[in-house]
Structure formats: C-alpha cells, structure tokens
C-alpha cells in the first residue's frame, strides 16, 4: 500500500515526522499514521458507525491477554467546534508494577457533520 505524500501525511501526524497510509475498506477509507520515533499508532476515520466502533473497541481492550490486566483510565465527554459532542475512553494494559504500559484510546463523535468521527490510538507509555 503506497504511503501518502508528505504534504498530505502531515495533517495526520500532528506536526511530527512520520508516515501515513490510506487504508481502503468496504466501510470507507481509514488513515493509519505512524509518527517517527514514537511508540504510537493512530487511526483516523472520517465516517463510521460510532456505536459499533465503541463495542468493537471495548471487546478488544477489555480482554487483555494474560498476564496483562486491563484498566480503564479515562472516560470523558467534551463539546468541540470541529466534531460536536465527543466521547473519549482509554484503557491501559499492564502487569503489576511494570514501568511500561500499553495505552489504547478511542475518541468518537456521533454527529454526521463531524470532521472526524473516530480517532483511535495505541501507544506504549512509561519509562
């Protein structure tokens, strides 16, 4: 799959160097962004069934593989100009006393006029 040219990738990388790829799917086109030098992967989705996305996300992140344990660390609602009402949930996967954790975050905007309806990320955080 060819990468987006740098000028188009920039909008998905939040000012960071890196690469982005369009990922066509029967439900639409997603963009996968991998900022350089960061333990981070971000998926941008312009249009999606946000309720279905939330269920799929929860099904994935609530079932951490052993010995990891899943813990919800965020559940917030916000009113935004670009996307209207948004909901952000985040879960960590870790083992007790581990210096590094895996963080999975999902922000959804149900409005049909939202610029972006789904933003999902996976990151390794900590030392």
Domains, the chain, ranges and CATH?
39-126 (3.10.450)
Say which residues have a Cβ less than 8 Å from residue 118's Cβ, sequence separation at least 6: 43, 44, 45, 48, 50, 53, 106, 107, 108, 109
Rg, Å, the chain Cα set: 15
Instruction: For the full predicted model, state whether its pTM sits above 0.85.
Output: yes
Whether the CB-CB separation of 83 and 47 falls below 8 Å is answered with no
Count of Cβ atoms closer than 10 Å to residue 55 Cβ: 11
pLDDT tens track of the chain, all 127 residues? 799 999 999 999 988 999 999 998 887 779 999 999 999 999 999 999 999 999 999 999 999 999 999 999 999 999 999 999 999 999 999 998 899 999 999 999 999 999 999 999 999 999 6
Question: In this structure, what is the dihedral angle of CA atoms 15, 18, 22, 28, given to the nearest 10 degrees?
Answer: -50
Count of Cβ atoms closer than 10 Å to residue 1 Cβ: 7
């Amino acid at each position: 799959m060819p990468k987006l040219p740098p000028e188009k990738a920039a909008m998905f990388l939040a000012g960071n160097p890196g690469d982005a790829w369009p990922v066509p799917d029967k439900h639409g086109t997603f963009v996968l962004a991998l900022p350089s030098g960061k333990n981070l992967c971000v998926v941008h989705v312009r249009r999606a069934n946000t309720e279905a996305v939330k269920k799929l996300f929860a099904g994935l992140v609530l079932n951490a593989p052993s010995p990891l344990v899943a813990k919800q660390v965020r559940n917030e609602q916000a009113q935004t100009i670009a996307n209207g009402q948004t909901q952000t949930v985040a879960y960590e996967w870790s083992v007790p006393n581990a210096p590094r954790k895996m963080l999975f975050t999902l922000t959804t905007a149900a409005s049909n006029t939202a610029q972006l309806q789904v933003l999902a990320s996976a990151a390794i955080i900590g030392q």
